[in-house]
Each structure stands twice: as structure tokens, then as C-alpha cells.
Amino acid sequence: MDERKAQFLIADDEYKVRDLIRKYVNECGHDAECVSIGEEVLRKIYGGNRYDGVFTDFRMPGMDGLSLIRALHEEQIRIPLVIISAFGNVEALTEAFKKGALDYISKPFSPEEIRDAIRTMLNQVIDLKTSSNTVKGLIEQKAFPGALKYLLPLFSHFPSSPIPHYLYGLLREAQGDYDEAFRHFSASMALDKGYEPSIKKHEEYRPKHLKEGKDE
């Protein structure tokens, strides 16, 4: 199990189910928030809350699980998501998987199934971290084509993350294209105003751009 304490969001209209999932998440050393409807999941994510994964029921009042998955997909928000439900319609599950769901757990579920789901979701985060370290290493070695090869897929897999734009800014900086680097550091900050690496780079570049009249 990943030793890092992660943050999960649990969406289910049955409070006993929510509490049980949270109990198992806590036993794995992680934290969890609980909501009862899909709209609340979107409100938290659109509000800037960051989660390592989402557990969602399929059948909930208002926005159900499939509608939630559709909404996240349409907004190109990629967040690890696992369905936990007694509802097992094959067509609905097929669509959910096509639109980004990682796994389906049938109710009633066991502690082991929740632990496995946590591993599955955290592996998605680890992939981004591992790929980022690879890109940085290749940039330091001035292996720019290799860095670009690892970097480009991150834009499609993690469109809401500030990291791909930050990495691309580092790449363009290393290649001497400082205007393009500044543009991507700014794009990274637009996705996450609290992302420290991009804040530092943006502050480093901003005086030069203000002086030259290039700041937006």
C-alpha cells in the first residue's frame, strides 16, 4: 500500500454505506469526505477540492453515478473513480468504463475490495508522479525528444492537472523558448493557483514580460 496519506470522496445516498467505506479507507491510513448526491461531488471538484479518487454509487437522487461520470468526462476532468453499487446494468457499466471509471464493486462489499480499489486509484496518481520525474530527468539530460514523448500523453490523461503545462514550460525553457515557457507556466497556474513550482517560475518570468509589454 502507498504510505502517502491520500484524500478520497465518497458519494452514496445511504449513510451506512458511506460510513462503512470511510471506515475501510481510514483503516488503510487515508482520509475521506462523504456526500449523498452527484451534484455535491461536482460542486466540491469545481470548487477546487483535490481528491486522489472518488467512490460513487450508481443510483442516487438527483444526479446519479452515471450522470456524474458523464459530466466529469465532458469537462475533461480525469480523476480516479470506482463505482460501488448493487445496480449492475451492463450497458450503463460499459458506458461508465468508456468514460473513465476504473472499477466496479458490487454491494455488499468486503474490506479487501475497498483496499484493492484504493490501490487501483492511487496507482493512477503514482503514474503521473513517475512520468513527471522521468520527463524532468530527460530535460536535465537535454534528451528533449524523449522528454516530449513522455510528456505529450500527460496532457490528454491529466487535462485538469497543472503538472503537464509546468513540465512543458520547463522543456521550452531548456530549449531557449522563454516566451513559450512563460505561457505554459501561466497556463499551469490557471489550472491550480496554488501550484508552487509554477508560481515560482511565473514570478521569475513576470518582471521581464512586464518590461517588454508581453504580460497578458
In which residue are the cell numbers 496554488 written? Answer: 194
Q: What's the confidence (pLDDT) of residue 78?
A: 80
Q: Which domains does the chain have, with CATH numbers?
A: 7-125 (3.40.50.2300), 126-212 (1.25.40.10)
Query: Quick one: pLDDT at residue 212?
Result: 53
99, burial (CB in 10 Å: exposed 0-12, middle 13-18, buried 19+): middle
Q: Higher model confidence: residue 98 or residue 113? A: 113
pLDDT digits (tens, 9 = 90+) for 21-60: 999 999 999 999 999 999 999 999 988 888 999 999 999 9
Q: What percent of the chain has pLDDT over 70?
A: 92
Give the global pTM.
0.63
Diameter of the chain measured on Cα atoms: 63
Q: Looking at this protein, which amino acid is placed at residue 133? A: N
Task: State the chain's mean pLDDT as an integer.
Answer: 88
Cell of 40: 455535491
Residues whose CB is less than 8 angstroms from the CB of residue 173 and which lie 6 or more positions away in sequence, other chains included: 181, 201
**How many other C-beta atoms are found inside a 10 Å radius of the C-beta of residue 3?**
5
